[in-house]
Every structure is written in C-alpha cells, then in structure tokens.
Amino acid sequence: MNFVFISPNFPKIYSHFVKALKERGVNVLGIGDEQYANLNQELKDNLTEYCYVSNMNNYDWMRNTIGYLQSKYGHIDFIESNNEYWMENDAKLREEFAVEKGYRYLELLDYKCKSSMKKYFQNAGVKTARYIIASSLDESKKFAKEVGYPLFAKPDSGVGASDTFKISNEEDLANFHNQDLHEKYIIEEYLEGYITSFDGIANEQSDVVICFNETFPTPIATVVRENKDVYYYAKSSMNEEFKKMGERVVKSFNIRSRCFHIEFFVLTQDKKGLANKGEIVALEANLRSPGGDTPELLNLVSKFDYYQTYADVITKNISNLDNSTNKVSISVNRKNEYKYVESAGDIEKFYRKNIIEHGYYSESFRQAMGDEFFIAIFDDLKDALNFQKFVHNKQ
C-alpha cells in the first residue's frame, strides 16, 4: 500500500500516524514544505521517502511530485493530510491520480461549506441554527428581524475563529457589510452555550470504530474575540443518546476511513423558534483529526492507541472498539500577557502525579489557544476542573 501523507510534519504529532502506518507495512510517502533536515526523528525513521516542496500552494508542483512518487512506487492508494488547510488540494489530487479512497473535490466542497453541511446534520435528526448568506444589508436586516440580535457571521468555508464577528445591533450589521470581505460569509442566529464535540475514527463503511467526547466551556471564537483563557477536556465515555446522534451524523456525512471532529452547541439559554436550554444544536463537521495536540488528550482516556487505530482502519478496515474509560484528560492554557498566581514550577510540583505534558504552542496556534499549556489526566471531572482553576488563578 502506498500512502501519500501531505505535510506529515504539521502538527508535530502527525509523525505518530506515519509510524503506525509504517509498522503495518505501508509505504508512507511524505510531501511537505519543511526541509528534510528539520523533520523530527520519528518521521525520518518511518517515511519511505520524503519530498520537499517549497510552496505547497503551487498545485503543479504538488501534482508533479505525486507523479514522480507514482512512477517510482506504483499506484497511490491514499492521499491524505488530515489537515483542514490542504483538504481541497488532497481531493483534487485524488481525482487526478485515480485514488479510490477519500472524498472527491465537489463532494468535499459540499461537506466543507457551513451552509451546505446543515442539510447533513438535519438528515441525521440534529437541529441547526437558522442562517442566511451575507449578500446585502437589506437581506441581513430582514433576517435580524426574524431571529433577533445578536447575530454571528463567519466564513462559509474555512477553519479558525479569527475572521468571525458577533453582531449586536444594526450599526454592527452595517459595519460588517461595509467591510471588504474577500470570501463568502454566512450570518447565523447567535446561540448562548458551550461546545461539545464527537471525535473519532470511522471505517470504510462509515461505522464509528472509536469515539470520544470533548467539551469546550468557552467557544474558541469567544476566546479570540474577548482574549480569554482556554481550557477543554476529553472523555471516552459518554451519554448513549449523544453517541448514537454522533454515529448518525458520521453516516450522514459519509465519513469513510478517516478521522472526524464534529462540533455541537449545548444551549445554556432558550432560543425562541429553535431549541430550549440544554438541547443540542449542530455547529460544524470537520472531516479530519481535531487540531493541534488534541489527539494526545484523546489517547490519554482511551483503551486503544489513537494513531494505531487509524492505521488499522486504513490497512485492515477494523470495526467498532469499546474504548470507554472513566478517565478525564484536560488541557489548560495560559497567555503570556496575564500574571498568574501559581508559577509553572509550582503547578508541576503540586500536580506532579497528574501532569502529562507542559509546553508552549507554536506561533500558528497562539491566537486561538494561548502561549503555554498543561495537559493532565484525572479520574474525576471535578478534580480536573479544580486543576483548571488552580492554573488560571490570576494575580
């Protein structure tokens, strides 16, 4: 089997996917914009070949590189990045090289656009926020009259929270439309709540093999807009009704032989005409692994290794595994601009039995996630949240 892994060096933990695939006899062929000398040792030890492409946005260069790899190793079975930024190019390259596994370009676009993905959630029996495409101020005013302020505007396709807007009144709405927007936006009714996600890996039949539940008490968009501290936690055990809903969504999106990260809002206030407090409303489906180091949190609470399970899905198309445990893993992040009561040394000393990793985010993650992180594991959610309060206690 020949697996072309696009940008295997980012995030850094993706080298674990490469290692797991190599251990199962797969030729893992990497293409990235990092010089070979700068790759971590795990990638160097497990990539069959690595091709450096200085500008991966140059589609011709990418196509020519895969053409070279195919001429050397034979038919390509998978082209994957597991990275939102490269997913469209992945799909184009699959079509060009007749790779049977994975989404085709037009199929992917329909799943990626936040406006079009709503019908897949609805087909799975999940409510979605009302919305319009941001076409004109007059149309947006009509929508605001229907659902009420505040509103929430975000790019129809894309990832991240830096280009989102909370619109609280008609003046904000006019200012939003007066901007020189370079992409299509949707405007939704604003929901008060917190984010919970259904994460995992699906096999070729869209059956969920392993799954997890993450909770983000403060949405990342709010973190960026209001410059708040971040924390989030993961469990592998979850409410059975929530799990069945997640499985329906995976089937609806036809997620096959890949990781997924599907986000929902749990309402903390009634939203007239939509849902009541405590109900779940779909947010978006991300057809890739959760971002950054999050897979490490998932690994901590699972009976099965996340990366090896992915490799088993790719090579053996395994079916459902019960990976539920009673563990809770948590990532608590801090920002350099704030002064905290406890030093990093004191935190590590006090929670030495719980902390798994203490580190710093790369520049590309800092706007959304902060500068410094502590990853820890607990037997009880209450203890995990006490740890969060301890880390975030400010002077």
For the beta carbon of residue 178, count every other beta carbon within 10 angstroms. Answer: 9
What pLDDT score was predicted for residue 367? 74
Q: Which of 128, 148, 306, 341 is nearest to 214 (CA)?
A: 306
Q: Are 113 and 83 in contact (CB under 8 A)?
A: no
Is residue 158 scored above 80 in pLDDT? no
Q: Using CA atoms, how far apart are residues 128 and 147, in angstroms rounded to an integer? A: 13
What pLDDT score was predicted for residue 228? 85
Query: Which strand ranges, in their side-by-side order, compose the sheet holding 78-80?
Result: 49-52, 27-32, 2-6, 78-80
Q: Using CA atoms, how far apart are residues 320 and 340, in angstroms rounded to an integer? A: 44
What pLDDT score was predicted for residue 304? 97
Phi first, then psi, for residue 27 (nearest 5°) are: -80, 110
Write down all domains in the chain, each with its CATH number in brackets.
2-110 (3.40.50.20), 130-189 (3.30.1490.20), 193-392 (3.30.470.20)
What pLDDT score was predicted for residue 10? 92
Q: Are 276 and 270 in contact (CB under 8 A)?
A: yes
Give the type of residue at 351: Y
pLDDT in tens, 183-226: 899 999 999 999 999 999 999 999 999 999 999 998 777 777 78
Is residue 104 scored above 80 in pLDDT? yes
Query: In which band, very low, low, confident or very high, does the pLDDT at 366 lie, cut at 50, 70 and 90?
Result: confident
In angstroms, what CA-CA distances link 167 with 87, 106, 140, 149, 360? Answer: 30, 32, 11, 7, 33
Instruction: Report the pLDDT averaged over residues 357-362.
Output: 89
**Burial of residue 142 (number of CB atoms within 10 Å: 0-12, 13-18, 19+):** exposed
The two structure tokens encoding residue 134 = 């941001």
Q: Are strands 27-32 and 49-52 parallel, antiparallel or unpaired?
A: parallel
Instruction: Report the pLDDT averaged over residues 66-70.
Output: 98
Instruction: Report the pLDDT averaged over residues 5-30.
Output: 97
Interaxial angle between packed helices 87-96 and 59-73, expressed in degrees from 0 to 180 and rounded to the nearest 10: 50
Report the mean per-residue pLDDT for the chain: 94
What pLDDT score was predicted for residue 92? 97
Q: Which of 258, 308, 311 is nearest to 285 (CA)?
A: 258
User: Can you give the length of the chain in residues?
Assistant: 395
pLDDT in tens, 290-324: 988 899 999 999 999 999 999 999 999 999 999 99
What pLDDT score was predicted for residue 164? 84
pLDDT in tens, 215-245: 999 877 777 778 889 899 999 999 999 999 9
Range of lowest pLDDT (161-175, 183-197, 358-372)? 358-372
Q: Using CA atoms, how far apart are residues 32 and 50, in angstroms rounded to an integer? A: 8
**Burial of residue 128 (number of CB atoms within 10 Å: 0-12, 13-18, 19+):** buried
CA 160 to chain centre: 9
